[in-house]
């Protein structure tokens, strides 16, 4: 029913007119790090939310125990909870702030590269929708998504 959609998805879930891989990074609090705690506290989106299963799989893959310390459906809630020392999370680099410390392979955490940003419209879309999709594609490509 929608004319044009910009969405984030697991790679190759749905074919789009344009797509970009989404890089993710692990973040912890800069002032009150929690990654070394046992169990590892996790800040995440609600069940079936973005990155939740990836976070849990990665921590379990390290042989570490984990617990969900905070859940929020908003990005700002996740950012604030991590900054306040409530746990670690996985977010796009543009979502990290000065209040976050970036974690990575040197901490034993895997790179998570299974997401992409996609522009979708029907093949029979109106010419205005196709033109808007093209402009959106150019803006996103220029912005380095």
Read off the tokens for 50: 């973005």
pLDDT band at 41 (very low <50, low <70, confident <90, very high): very high
**DSSP character string of 116-141:** EEEEE--TT--HHHHHHHHHHHHHHH
pLDDT at 26 over 90: yes
Q: Are 33 and 85 in contact (CB under 8 A)?
A: yes
Percentage of the chain lying above the pLDDT 90 cut: 76
pLDDT at 70: 98
Coil, strand or helix at 6: strand
Sheet holding 115-120, edge to edge: 5-10, 115-120, 18-22
Residue 3 DSSP label: S
Asked: is 24-111 a CATH 3.40.50.1110 domain? The reply is no
Which pLDDT value is given to residue 4?
93
pLDDT, averaged across the chain: 93
Two tokens, residue 139:
């803006």
Q: What single string gives the DSSP state of each residue in 87-120?
A: -BEEE-GGG--TTEEEE-GGGTPPP---EEEEEE
- Encode pLDDT of 43-82 as tens digits: 999 998 889 999 999 999 999 999 999 999 999 999 999 9
In this predicted structure, what is the pLDDT of residue 50?
A: 85
pLDDT digits (tens, 9 = 90+) for 111-130: 998 899 999 998 889 999 99
Q: Where exactly are the structural domains of the chain?
A: 5-21+116-142, 24-111
Query: Rounded mean pLDDT of 16-45?
Result: 95
**Tell me, what's the pLDDT at 145?**
63
């Amino acid at each position: 029913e929608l004319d044009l959609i910009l969405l984030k998805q697991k790679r190759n879930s749905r074919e789009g007119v344009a797509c970009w891989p989404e890089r993710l990074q692990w973040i912890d609090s800069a002032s009150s790090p929690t990654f070394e705690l046992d169990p590892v506290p996790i800040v995440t989106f609600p069940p079936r939310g973005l990155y939740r299963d990836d976070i849990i799989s990665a921590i379990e893959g390290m042989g570490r125990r984990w617990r969900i310390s905070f859940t929020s459906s908003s990005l700002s809630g996740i950012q604030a909870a991590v900054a306040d020392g409530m746990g670690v999370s996985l977010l796009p680099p543009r979502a990290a702030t000065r209040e976050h410390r970036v974690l990575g392979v040197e901490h034993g955490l895997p790179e998570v590269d299974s997401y992409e940003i996609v522009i979708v419209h029907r093949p029979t879309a109106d010419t205005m929708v196709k033109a808007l999709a093209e402009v959106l594609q150019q803006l996103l490509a220029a912005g380095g998504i």
